[in-house]
Amino acid sequence: MRSYLQILAASCVIVTLLAAQSATASTAAAKASKPDGKLIELDEDNWQLMLNGEWMIEFFAPWCPACKNLAPVWERYANTAKDVNVNVAKIDVTTSPSLSGRFFVTALPTIYHVKDGEFRQYRGARDAEALLYFLKKKSWQAIEPLSSWKKPDTIHMSLLSYFFKLSHTLKTTQKLFKDFNARLQEEYGLPTWGSYALFAIATIFVGAALGLMLVCIVDFVYPPKKSPRQSFSESQDNLAKGVEDLATEEIEDDEDDNAAEEEDGNSDDDAEEDQEEEDEEEQETKEETGDKVQTEKKSEKINSRAGDDAPEVADKPSTEQVRKRKPRKAD
């Protein structure tokens, strides 16, 4: 019950703070929506005031010559624009680099007309009469507003603004590094390579400190599981059990290896026996084939000899023919 009351009290405090913040923001927006003839300076913290009412915004830089020429005209324009209920503001891109990325400012000075969250870029003349005529005749209605993917209040343009801010931070850091390097060389006589080595060592130590801090944060958020404490005898018993289990596993592995080797040996013996039987069958087949060939050759030789003897017998006359052919004796 007590914890429930604490949660309820904390919720009431949070709701009260949010309501006060929203009331303050709405009051500031209401004050800003009523022009008082003064030039308003917008930055990265209050630029959302331009989303309510009608505004003319100038993006400038102190080093820009064209911006310096426009500065007095813009001051007078802020005083005269209150007659048409328009707020006039300026944004310094050197102190608010993220806004230059959010509005994608590529040239200076750049002037935008903002009406209830719709953004239009002004490209006309930069004198007080032309600017006031632009508002009185509502010439901004003829200008196509920025497309949805180019609107400064979208998520992707917000991401782009962070990149611009990071670039500006890196430039500022580089400038500070150069100033510090020059100071080391002038006051302490430290050579250039010495200052670079000093910064390298400092970078290593800073990285190690950040890494240690990150490890501590992770251990704090996700603490490691605490294992129960064991006595010396229990740890020895567990160690002995572990050794026995390991020995048992090794014995089982050896038995499996021996069984596998025996199976491989049996399969090799069977393969050798099959090969020997095949070789014997081939040898028998070859012997039978050789016997048949020899028998055929012998029969051919016998036949050839018989054929050679037959003509000789035929050529020799028989004894009866010889007797007949003997001449008779003379009478």
Helix (H) or strand (E) holding 237: helix 232-315
The pLDDT tens digits for 164-204 are 777 767 766 766 777 777 777 777 777 777 777 887 898 89
DSSP three-state, residue 331? coil
- So which residues are the catalytic ones? 64, 67
169 and 182, same domain (yes or no)? yes
Instruction: Select the more confidently predicted residue: 305 or 261.
Output: 261
Which of 157, 180, 204 marks a domain boundary?
Answer: 157
State the Cα–Cα distance between residues 119 and 326, nearest whole angstrom: 156
Which range, of 149-153, 176-180, 220-224, 229-233, averages the lowest pLDDT? 229-233
Q: In the prediction, which pLDDT does 90 show?
A: 94
Residue range of the domain that includes 117: 34-157
Q: Does residue 298 lie within any of the structural domains?
A: no
Which of 196, 221, 246 marks a domain boundary?
Answer: 221
Q: Does residue 109 lie within any of the structural domains?
A: yes
Q: Does residue 46 lie within any of the structural domains?
A: yes
Q: Tell me: pLDDT of 58 over 90.
A: yes
Mean pLDDT of the chain: 75
Phi-psi domain of 44 (left: phi exceeds 0; alpha: psi -120 through 50; beta: other): alpha
Q: Give how many domains the chain has, as a whole number.
A: 2
79 and 176, same domain (yes or no)? no
94 and 179, same domain (yes or no)? no
195 and 128, same domain (yes or no)? no
Instruction: Look at the block and give the residue holding tokens 């917000």.
Output: 158
Query: Domain holding 101: CATH number?
Result: 3.40.30.10
The pLDDT tens digits for 265-279 are 666 666 677 777 777
Instruction: Select the more confidently predicted residue: 205 or 275.
Output: 205
